[in-house]
Amino acid sequence: MAEAKTNSEDYLRMYTQMVRIRTFEDNANQLYLSAKMPGLTHMYSGEEAVAVGICEALTDNDRITSTHRGHGHCVAKGANFKEMFCELLGKEEGYCRGKGGSMHIADQSHGNLGANAIVGGSMGIATGSALRAKLLGQDDVTVCFFGDGATAQGLLYEVMNMAALWHLPVIYACENNGYSEYTKTEEIAAGSITARAEAFGIEAFKVDGQDVLAVNELTQKLVARCRKGEGPFFIELETYRYHGHHVGDINREYYRSKDEEKDWKENRDPIVRFRSWLVDQGIATEDEIEAMNAEIKKDATEAVAYAEAAKYPDVSEVDMHVYAD
Amino acid sequence: MREITLSQAVNEAIAEEMRRDPTVFLMGEDVAEAGTPFKVLSGLVEEFGTERVIDTPIAEPGFVGLAVGAAMTGARPIVDLMFGDFIYLVMDQLCNQAAKQHYMSGGKLSVPMVLRTNMGATRRSAAQHSQSLQALVAHVPGLKVAMPSSAYEAKGLMKTAIRDNNPVVIFEDKLMYQDKAPVPEEEYLIPFGVANVKRTGTDITFIATSSMVQVAEKAAEILAAEGISAEVIDPRTIVPLDEATLLESVRKTSRAIVIDEGHQSYGVTAEIASRLNEKAFYHLDAPVLRMGAMDVPVPFSPALEDITVPTPEGVAENARKLCAGEMIHAA
């Protein structure tokens, strides 16, 4: 694995955050399967190293925009389980008072400008956040998460053009998990994805999205350069989603094989890889890691129980927040 | 009082707010040195520089998207959409993103941006540069919609829009940019949701927006000579709508015609007429009439274009019939 210049504490936090994402998703999936969650949700499992590698290179002051597959970004940017599960269940104590749900979780306190249910819908928002930073002389950086499917949206090319023209502090992070909803990416994407950014004069990088240290090391460098006015940048992160497009997408052999899924899970899992690296480096023992995992599981179980018991918003809230004061 | 053009009024409003608040900035196609094709923004780049008066590429969804993100994170952008017809290009950014952020986030995020654009036919600009699309955006919860009817309203509403914490769409009538009206030197704001009774009357109420206010006033003049007294009300903002003032007038006159330059079907006129029917039915002596643009794409030929929009004569004719108890649409 790549070496990022961090200390043991940073490594352990990255591991913890990846496990927190996986654990959150396992619980969210269970809530869906047991019919306790209204609606559908899109699992981030398998892509943890992307969100964590990137968000660990950011401060609370830096902004991100997220996607319909956004729980990972939300956790990685610092959100709490309790408010997240409350939001997934439509409860009053959710991050958005139950009005957004899985696809619109926003946690402004940690700089998360929100998930977005329109594929590619937040590219303007992320770039606009970066424009604001430049105009007002603020030194924060914005990361725009989107999937390979979103590279087909014209908006990306409009905003990358402006970001490049005006040297905006934004990093476009393309999570290429190989599938555009229920279709192989190679069937919807012509040519090279990074070359598209390069056509605007944007430096573009391709990185193993299952290697949290590689992702983190690259992002740290790019964030520092963005703060010096050298942005924008583009990163294509090669990754994989373990579940279907959403939790209800169970029978998916018509678009991808079980062998392929097995191969990624057994040979390229970002958590398993990082865990064995931590043990090899003597940063943590197996026992310590098991204890960390157990603690996270306990937190999640408690948060789920809390959210299940939490109250729904009062019906009087239905027309609150349509307009700001 | 001095008189200035609607164009100068908009320019003054923006300049004053940019001087007052350093987070206000302007972006759009040809807004800087060109000052827009209508020259509404001329001179602003000289005062505020290209940092705050930003020429964008021709990429409407892109720059409206940037405005949404800038607004969500602490700036107050004014985006210039060169023609109202281009609203169709920016629907996702305006209606799915800007309009819903505050609600979806449970009130945590807000989008204090202004999208200024225009409307109005009879400029011989044909079907893609002549539309009046206010009904489209007025339909979307989370957006506010202002429709100035003169230089005075254009300035006061623009200043209010810039200070509002919500996305506001302002439609200026592109044929009125050179129209002059008295505008005070001293600062003033016009609150949203407060209609202006332009002319008082007792026999019939004309509720008219933007360009149609002049049409209604001319119709009222024609009718006055015939002994029919028409009241003319300009709602000034259609979202929020000052329902109380409209209802009060209609309860008094017992007849109303609603006039707006958007297409008549499923339009602003239909919404207002429906509210009057629901809330003032027992005060009415005649059906509330809608007068909008014909339900056709705006034609190029002057011979055709001029008959697609309401005229003073048309409004007066319908008013005469309503006041005489004649049926306009047979049951």
Q: Please say if the pLDDT value at position A69 is more than 70.
A: yes
Say whether both B154 and B240 belong to one domain.
no
CB B246 within 8 A of CB B279: no
CB B41 within 8 A of CB B11: yes
Q: Please say if the pLDDT value at position A3 is more than 60.
A: no
Say whether both B123 and B217 belong to one domain.
no
Task: Give per-residue pLDDT as tens, A83-113.
Answer: 999 999 999 999 999 999 999 999 999 999 9
Answer yes or no: is B91 within a domain: yes
Give Rg (Cα) of chain A.
Answer: 19
- Please tell me whether the overall predicted TM-score, pTM, comes out greater than 0.80 for this model: yes
Closest CA–CA distance from residue B142 to any residue of chain A (Å):
5
Cα separations in angstroms, B232 against A93, A171, B121, B291: 49, 54, 22, 14
Task: Give per-residue pLDDT as tens, A145-189.
Answer: 999 999 999 999 999 999 999 999 999 999 999 999 999 999 999
Please list the rounded mean pLDDT of every run of 10 residues in chain B (331 residues).
97 98 98 94 97 98 98 98 98 98 97 98 94 98 98 98 98 97 98 98 98 98 98 98 98 98 97 98 97 97 97 98 88 61
Closest CA–CA distance from residue B125 to any residue of chain A (Å):
27
Chain B residues inside the 8 Å CB shell of A113: 69, 72-73, 109
B274 and A CB contact within 8 Å: no
Task: Give per-residue pLDDT as tens, B259-296.
Answer: 999 999 999 999 999 999 999 999 999 999 999 999 99
Say whether both B117 and B256 belong to one domain.
no
- For residues B268 and A252, give the distance between their C-alpha atoms in angstroms, rounded to a whole number: 47
Say what the pLDDT of residue B329 is. Answer: 80
Last residue of a domain, one of B127, B157, B182: B182
Task: Give per-residue pLDDT as tens, A150-160.
Answer: 999 999 999 99
Q: Which residue of A has its CA nearest to B77?
A: A132
Q: What are the b/e assignments for B99-108, b being 16+ CB within 10 Å?
A: bbbbbbbbbb
Q: Using pLDDT thresholds of 50, 70 and 90, give the confidence band for residue A75.
A: very high
Task: Give per-residue pLDDT as tens, B33-58.
Answer: 999 999 999 999 999 999 999 999 99
Q: Is the ipTM of this complex over 0.90?
A: yes
Q: Which residue of B has its CA nearest to A131?
A: B70
Say whether both B10 and B61 belong to one domain.
yes
- For residues A244 and A295, give the distance between their C-alpha atoms in angstroms, rounded to a whole number: 28
Answer yes or no: is B189 within a domain: no
Say what the pLDDT of residue A271 is. Answer: 98
CB-based contacts of A33, cutoff 8 Å, min separation 6: A247
Say what the pLDDT of residue B331 is. Answer: 61
* Candidate from A106, A129, A158 with C-beta closest to B59: A158
Longest dimension (CA), chain B: 61
CB contact under 8 A, A113 and B68: no
Chain B residues inside the 8 Å CB shell of A128: 65-73, 77
Q: Is A203 helix (H, G, I), strand (E, B) or coil?
A: strand
Say whether both B157 and B230 belong to one domain.
no
Query: Encoding tokens for residue B79?
Result: 């985006």
The total number of structural domains in chain A stands at: 1
Say whether both B146 and B18 belong to one domain.
yes
- Residues shown for chain A: 325
Q: Helix A81-88 crosses helix A286-309 at what angle (to 10 degrees)?
A: 40
Domain assignment of residue B267, given as a range: 196-323
Say whether both B163 and B250 belong to one domain.
no
Q: Which residue of B has its CA nearest to A97?
A: B106
Chain A residues inside the 8 Å CB shell of B91: none
Mean pLDDT across chain A, nearest whole number? 96
Chain B residues inside the 8 Å CB shell of A320: 107
Q: Please say if the pLDDT value at position A4 is more than 60.
A: no
Q: Provide the CA B201 distance to its chain's centre, in angstroms.
A: 24
Last residue of a domain, one of B149, B182, B215: B182
Say what the pLDDT of residue A42 is. Answer: 96
**DSSP readout, A91-130?**
-TTSTTTTSS-GGG--BGGGTB----SSTTTTHHHHHHHH
Which of B196, B125, B107, B117 is CA-nearest to residue B156?
A: B196
Say whether both B216 and B289 belong to one domain.
yes
Q: Is B46 one of the catalytic residues?
A: no
Give the CATH number, domain containing residue B172. 3.40.50.970
Q: Please say if the pLDDT value at position A2 is more than 80.
A: no
Closest CA–CA distance from residue B66 to any residue of chain A (Å):
4
Query: Encoding tokens for residue A36?
Result: 């306790």
Give the CATH number, domain containing residue B230. 3.40.50.920
- For residues B268 and B266, give the distance between their C-alpha atoms in angstroms, rounded to a whole number: 7
Domain assignment of residue A257, given as a range: 8-308
Say what the pLDDT of residue B191 is. Answer: 98
Give the CATH number, domain containing residue A223. 3.40.50.970
Q: Is B102 one of the catalytic residues?
A: no
Say what the pLDDT of residue B112 is. Answer: 98
The total number of structural domains in chain B stands at: 2
CB B116 within 8 A of CB B24: no
Say whether both B152 and B219 belong to one domain.
no
At B225, the amino acid letter reads A
Say whether both B168 and B207 belong to one domain.
no
